[in-house]
Structure formats: structure tokens, C-alpha cells
Amino acid sequence: MPAILEVDNLVKKYGDFEAVKGVSFSVEEGEVFGLLGPNGAGKTTAISMLTGVLPPTSGTARIGGYDILTDMDEVKKLNGLVPQDLALYPTLSARANLSFFGRIYGLKGKDLKERVEDVLRIVALTERADEVIEKYSGGMKRRINIAAGLVHHPKLLFLDEPTVGVDPQSRNHIFESVLRLNRERGMSIVYTSHYMEEVELLCSRVAIVDEGEIIALDTIKNLIALLGGGVIHVGLQQVDNSLLAELSALPAVREALLAQQTVAPPLAEGEAPEAKESEPISTSSVVKIVAEQSQQAVVNVIGFLNDRNITLTSLEILEPNLESVFLHLTGKKLRE
Amino acid sequence: MNALHIARKDLQIFFKDRGSVMLLFLLPLLFIVIFSGALSAIGSDSDEDTRILLPVVDLDGGEAAQTLLEGLDAAGGIRVELYAQAEARTLLDERKLARVLTIPAGFTAKLADSQQVTLRLINHPDADAEGTEAVRLIVEGVAQDMSLESQIFASLRQMADMQANAPEEFQVFSMERTMAQARSQFERSRTHPLVAVVQTVPGQEGEREEMPDPIQLAVSAFTVLFVFLTSQTAARSVYDEKKIGSFRRLLAAPMSKASLLAGKMIPNFIMGLIQTAVIFAFGIIGMRLLGLTPMTLGSAPLAVVLVAMVVALCSSGFGILIAAIAHTENQISGLSSLLLWVMGILGGCFVPLFILENFLGPLPKIVPHYWANRAFNDLLVRGLGLADVIMEMAVLLAFTALFFALGVWRFDFD
């Protein structure tokens, strides 16, 4: 499949702050591509540059073969944007909103009417199309927000956190709409979210974004495979490097790493800090064990600790999903 | 084209907000009714009779005495009031009257016989010298006119008597006809004197503008004030788009930033024109229905329309400037209130320009309101034409260009 979107080292700076730090990725035609990351990771800024809302500081991108730096007018015709905000006029009806957004993309007359009816059908709000938006529920507003980005039939649709503040029923409806647009109409979609369940459900490939950078990009299966057979967090009173090496050598364990250091050992009088850094490690720590096979690894780890008479303070087996991948890669939770 | 779509959408949104519509269209009408009433009151105060009182004791009561009284009254500067002789004397003694003019008995008869008569003007010793001198000059002037008139009539009568004794073929003019012609000449000399004399007081040598009609003044002033206040609408509209996020959607659409800003200016412009039309319609029809003097559109209605368009355009440009420099709702309100009301006050929307200029000098000229008011005043109050307001329109267009350029320069599209 040819790429509909190719992003090349895109950067956005606000003074000294770098909101997007040279991201590069591509999206194939007909693909649903996910940008997963916590709030403030730079997802919306990246989308804003790709849709012409913000100029990039450096780098570029091509959409449908058009460069965003030189052919933004053409790019804008191919793009559809569903912003995170409910970007609708609350005192106008849904139909009036959609007609307006259709008009600014050059639609008129019968064509405009047909497109408006079409997108109303997609979001299943034809019956209530003449009601003013302010009378809609949050979920219905979200659906019309999506419809407004679709009315001109874009080739590439950017959905920026489209389910924020939506009830489960409307959320499911939005998922169905996205999948139908992709499967039935072949629309390419860039879907940003901080909900890993949504990205797992909708996207074939995902870029995990944190602090303006893409820290991993692959299919969901491959990203989860980064965790091997799963991740186990083991809480111990004391950890040293030899213990980590022994844990790493256990059968069904791929790797054992220090995940969390809660209490730093005090420096002795006159002792240089760099000398302390080489010391085995601390008290009350969490060891992250990347397993080949999680159940077998748990049995082996517990048996090993019992044999050595080491006290286990906590044990957590992480489900192999994108949340765990994000935690594994950044040490943070997605919704922190 | 996209600018028109944005404008249409904004107008749809605006006219759904009944509160704003009422505020925009009814508030100026309310202001006009209140202020035109107040200005009328000021105007009537200025009409208060400030002429010097001249108490007159008319002991004659004849035709010539009446002519003299009318002559004094019409001369300007003094106001004649009749008193009985005793009353006048008492009031003069009590210093309640500054002076008294007495027309002697037999005044009419003596004049008819061309006999000399004397008018007696008694001034109280404490009467102000200026007033006394003014009254003396006026009384003497009118008396001289009467003397002259009387003497000429007597001459004409003599000529007529002589002609009556002449053969019929020489009787070209009858006495009545000659007298009527003479009277007509005198009348004309009063209303259209060949040489006019204007008395001035030191410090008031400059041309003093007449107090314009308060209705015309209020209508044009509040039109200017409220059309400029409409510029808040453009700023708020931009702010609302940014707040709800639709501004991002517009930026992502295939349209230029200039189209976007033009789309925000057009509704402001249209609302300014509608507002002007509503206010003027009220000034013409509503004032009549309220029993007040209706306004007129002057002698160049087309020029009024053109000025209204330029004023609305200038207001729209100012709206973009406010949208560019105010980033929050409070800033828009605060900045608009501060700037637009101060500019309104400075530009003659509350105090007539000729009064403002007397104590502010050229300062009002720095605000567009001044030029807008001047243009409307020239057309509506003075009845001037398009050619007379070209400069005002050019200045307003220059303000528009300045506001728009500053607005585009400072506008935060991010």
C-alpha cells in the first residue's frame, strides 16, 4: 500500500519548549493509525501541524503526495479534522453546522445536501438533525463533531481524542463509525487517544508518543511482544546487582531490571556520590521482570526468593497490553 | 466566497441571540430618546430671553406709540414690558427696575402733525452702564427711524396735496399708492438692510456655530457610538470560535487567513449598516410617532448612505484590532468598554463637537468617532453634500486600513 501520509522529522517549538521533537512516521492508504500517549505528549500539536492549523518549526510532511510546507491548500482538501474540542456552533442545528462546514470546503446545492444527509446517516443522527446542538447530549455532540470532519469526504481523517467525555453507548457508536468509514469507504485515519483500549480496538499500527517524541512504533502485536510473555513487578526489601543477575538467569525470565527505587541509601561521611552509584542498590525496591512466559516465571521467581530467604513485599503481574508497554517504556502510566 | 459563508453563519448565530439583538438595536433608540429630550431641554434653556428688560410707560396708547414699541422689540437686544406710570416709578425707586422709558401723551398726534416729541428714558443711578448705553442707542435708533419715516410721509403728503391741485393728466400717483410704496420700502429696509451691523463682545470674535437640532444631533451621535460599539461583536465572534475550537477547524479548511478575517468583518459591517438604518428610521418615523421633531436626511441622502458604509467598515476594522489584542472575554469587555466609550466621548457622541473643540482643541481628531460625527453633522445638520465630506470619509478609510493592518499583524492565529 502506498503511504497517504509521510511525516519527516517534524518539530514544533514554543520558545525554548519543544512540544514535538522531530517525529517521523508514515500512514498507509486505508490504514487506521494510532497516536497513543498521555495528555501533553504532543499528539494534538503534531496533528495541528499536519492539518495546517500550526506551522511547523522544522521538518515537513507529505499528504497524498503534497508537501505541507508548499502545498497546504491541496493538503487541506484531502484532510478532515475532528478536533478534541466540540468545535460546533451550539445555537445552530446539526444540519446548519454540517452545511456550513460543507460550504467552506466548496460544497453547494444538491451535492452539499447529499453529503450532509450521508454523514448524518453515518453518525445515526438524521432524525434529530434539525435540533440545535446545545440540546444534544455529550455523546450526540461528539458524533456531530465527527460528522463535521467528514462532510467533504476527506481521504485522510484526523480524529483527535474523539471520545473524551462520552458515555459508553456513544463511544461504541463512534468506534463503529470509525471502523465503517475505514472498511467500507477505505478512509485513512489517524486516531489519537490516551485510552489504550480504543487504540487496540481500532488501529493496525500505533506510535507511542511521550514528551514530544515517538518512543515506539509498530503493530499492536509487535509492541506487546516487547513485553515478552508479560511483565512481573516484584517488590523486595533489598536489591543488589547480583540479585538482579540471578533473577535474570532464571528459566522463563528474559530480563530483570530495577523498576523503582523508593529509598536511597545514605552516603557515608566524606563519601563521593559517584562511588555510591556503583553500589548495589537500595532498600524497598521494585524489580521489573520481563518474562518469556509469565506464569512459569512467577513460579520460578517465588521459588528462588524462598530458597534465598528473601522477603517478598509485593507482586504484580501486568497484563500484556499497550498500557503495560507504555509503562514498560516510560515508567509512567498513560493517564498520569 | 468562504468569507461570505462565515459571515452568513455568524449573522445566523447573532440573530438567534435575541438579547444581543435587542441590546444592539433598542439601546441606541433608548439613548436617542433620552438624550434628544435632554438636549432639547438644553436648547430651550439657550432660547431663554436674555435681552435687556426695558420697562415702558405708554401714556399715549396711539398708533405711533405702538409702532415705537414694536420697533424697540424688533430691534433686538431689549425686551419691552409695559408698566403703569406709578408702578414703574415705585419699582424704579425700589431699584427693582433699572430704567423706564416713558412715551408721552399725544405722541401719535404730535408725530402726525410733524411736531417734535420727546421720549423720556430714566435710568437708575445704579443701573449697569453697558445696559444703559445699549438701551439708549437702541431707543435713539428706533426713534430716529420713526422720525425719518414720519418726515418722509409728511413730505409725500405735501407732494400729494400739491398734485391734487394739478390738472388731471399730471396726476400720475395717488397719495395712497405713494404712501404704500414708501411703507414697503421701509419694511424692506428693515428686513434686508443694505448695511448690516453685528455687535460683538471681546473674546467672541470667532464664528459661533448655531446649536444644531437636538434630534439630528442625538441620532447622528448615537449612530456613530453604537455602530462602533458593534465592533465588539467581531472580537467576541473570533473569541467564541477560539473558545469552542471551531477556529482550528476553520484554519484547517482550505481558506486563506485573510478570508477568515474578512468573514469576521462582514457581519460587523452588515450589522453596522442595519443599525444605522434602524436608528435613522426611528429618527424619522419613531420620533414623529413619539410627538417629537423627526430628523431629516439632509440634502444628500446618497452621501449619508456612503458615510454610513464607511463608518460601519471602520467599526469592522476596529473589531479585528480588538480581536487581535484581547485574548480573553474579560479583556474584550474591558478593552471595548474603555476604548469605545472613551473614543465616543472624545469623538463628540455625548457632547457636541463645537463644544468639545472649545476646550479640547484638536484632541478629538485622533479618534474615528470625531470624523464620523463631523461627516454626519455636515450632511444631516448643515445640509451639506458629498463633496463636503470627502475628507472625513478619507480619514475614516485611513483609520480602517490602520486598524485592519494592526489587527492582522497582531492577530494570534495559533
Q: Which amino acid is at B290?
A: L
User: What is the reported pLDDT for B205?
Assistant: 37
The answer to whether A51 touches A79, Cβ cutoff 8 Å, is yes
Indicate if the pLDDT at residue B144 is higher than 50: yes
Question: How confident is the model over A69-83, as pLDDT tens digits?
Answer: 999 999 999 999 999
Indicate if the pLDDT at residue B84 is higher than 70: yes
Three-state SS annotation for B166-210: CCHHHCCCCHHHHHHHHHHHHHHHHHCCCCCCCCCCCCCCCCCCC
DSSP-assigned beta bridge partners for residue A236: A285, A312
Q: List alpha helices for B47-174, DSSP H.
A: 63-74, 85-93, 107-112, 129-164
- A309: part of which helix (H) or strand (E)? none
Helix, strand, coil content of chain A in percent (nearest 5): 35, 30, 30
Tell me the C-alpha distance between A30 and A189, whole Å. 7
Indicate if the pLDDT at residue B72 is higher than 70: yes
Ramachandran angles phi, psi of A170, nearest 5°: -65, -35
CA angle B360, B363, B364 (to 5 degrees): 90
User: What is the reported pLDDT for B401?
Assistant: 93
Name the band, by pLDDT with cuts 50, 70 and 90, for residue B115. confident
Q: Which amino acid is at A149?
A: G
Question: Of all residues in chain A, what percent carry a pLDDT higher than 90?
Answer: 50
User: What is the reported pLDDT for B201?
Assistant: 32
Q: How far is the CA of B360 from the CAs of B224, B319, B343, B347, in angstroms?
A: 20, 27, 13, 11
Tell me which of B300 and B204 has the higher pLDDT. B300
Question: How confident is the model over A81-139, as pLDDT tens digits?
Answer: 999 888 999 999 999 999 999 999 999 999 999 999 999 998 889 999 999 999 998 88
* ipTM of this predicted structure: 0.78
Task: List chain B residues with CB under 8 Å of A96.
Answer: 9, 12
Q: Is A85 in Cβ contact with B245 (below 8 Å)? A: yes
Tell me which of B208 and A137 has the higher pLDDT. A137
User: Which of these, B316, B306, B270, lies nearest to B390 by C-alpha position?
Assistant: B306
Question: Of all residues in chain A, what percent carry a pLDDT higher than 70?
Answer: 91
Q: Chain A: give the shortest CA distance to residue B248, in Å.
A: 6
User: Which of these, A38, A130, A148, A30, lies nearest to A86 by C-alpha position?
Assistant: A148
Closest in A51, A79, A88 to B244, CB measured: A88
Tell me the C-alpha distance between A22 and B206, whole Å. 73
Tell me the C-alpha distance between B318 and A161, whole Å. 37
Q: What is the mean pLDDT of chain B?
A: 79
Tell me the C-alpha distance between B298 and B379, whole Å. 6
Interface of A with B (CB under 8 A): 48, 51-54, 73, 76-77, 79, 81, 83-92, 96, 100-101, 103-106, 148-149
* Burial (CB count within 10 angstroms: exposed 0-12, middle 13-18, buried 19+), residue B136: middle
Tell me which of B172 and A147 has the higher pLDDT. A147
Across B75-89, B121-135, B221-235, B389-403, the highest mean pLDDT is recorded for B389-403
Task: List chain A residues with CB under 8 Å of B255.
Answer: 104
- B43: part of which helix (H) or strand (E)? helix B18-46
Residue pairs spanning A and B at CB distance below 8 A: 68
Tell me the C-alpha distance between B323 and A301, whole Å. 65
Tell me the C-alpha distance between A116 and A97, whole Å. 10
Indicate if the pLDDT at residue B193 is higher than 90: no
User: What is the reported pLDDT for B233?
Assistant: 83
CB atoms within 10 A of CB B335: 17
Indicate if the pLDDT at residue B195 is higher than 50: no
Kindly state the cell numbers that stand for B262: 474578512
Q: How far is the CA of B343 from the CAs of B219, B348, B374, in angstroms?
A: 17, 9, 14
Give residues with Cβ within 8 angstroms of A286, minimum separation 6.
Answer: A233, A234, A235, A236, A258, A259, A260, A262, A314
- B300: part of which helix (H) or strand (E)? none
User: Which of these, B6, B261, B412, B245, lies nearest to A81 by C-alpha position?
Assistant: B245
Tell me the C-alpha distance between B63 and B177, whole Å. 20
- Strand intervals (E) in chain A: 3-14, 17-28, 32-36, 58-63, 66-67, 79-82, 156-160, 188-193, 205-210, 213-219, 230-239, 253-263, 282-291, 312-318
User: What is the reported pLDDT for A72?
Assistant: 92
Kindly state the cell numbers that stand for A139: 455523546
Closest in A52, A96, A149 to B251, CB measured: A52
Cell numbers 483500549 correspond to what residue?
A197
User: What is the reported pLDDT for A269?
Assistant: 45
Q: What is the mean pLDDT of chain A?
A: 86
Most A CBs within 10 Å, among B1, B8, B9, B241, to test the A interface = B9
Q: Count CA atoms closer than 13 A to B90's CA, side-chain side.
A: 5
Q: Is A87 in Cβ contact with B13 (below 8 Å)? A: no
pLDDT-wise least confident of A18-27, B261-270, B336-345: B336-345
Question: How confident is the model over B329-372, as pLDDT tens digits?
Answer: 888 888 887 888 889 888 888 877 777 777 778 888 899 999 99
Question: Of all residues in chain B, what percent carry a pLDDT higher than 70?
Answer: 80
Indicate if the pLDDT at residue A271 is higher than 60: no
Kindly state the cell numbers that stand for B381: 445638520
DSSP B379: I
Q: Is A105 in Cβ contact with B254 (below 8 Å)? A: yes
Kindly state the cell numbers that stand for A191: 486516531
Name the band, by pLDDT with cuts 50, 70 and 90, for residue B199. very low
Tell me which of B182 and B238 has the higher pLDDT. B238
Q: Which amino acid is at B269?
A: F
pLDDT-wise least confident of A60-69, A242-251, A282-291, B200-209: B200-209
User: What is the reported pLDDT for A335?
Assistant: 60
Tell me the C-alpha distance between B57 and B171, whole Å. 44
User: What is the reported pLDDT for A99?
Assistant: 95
DSSP-assigned beta bridge partners for residue A28: A3
Closest in B17, B244, B414 to A86, CB measured: B244
Q: How far is the CA of B390 from the CAs of A138, A216, A237, B216, B394, in angstroms?
A: 55, 67, 89, 20, 6
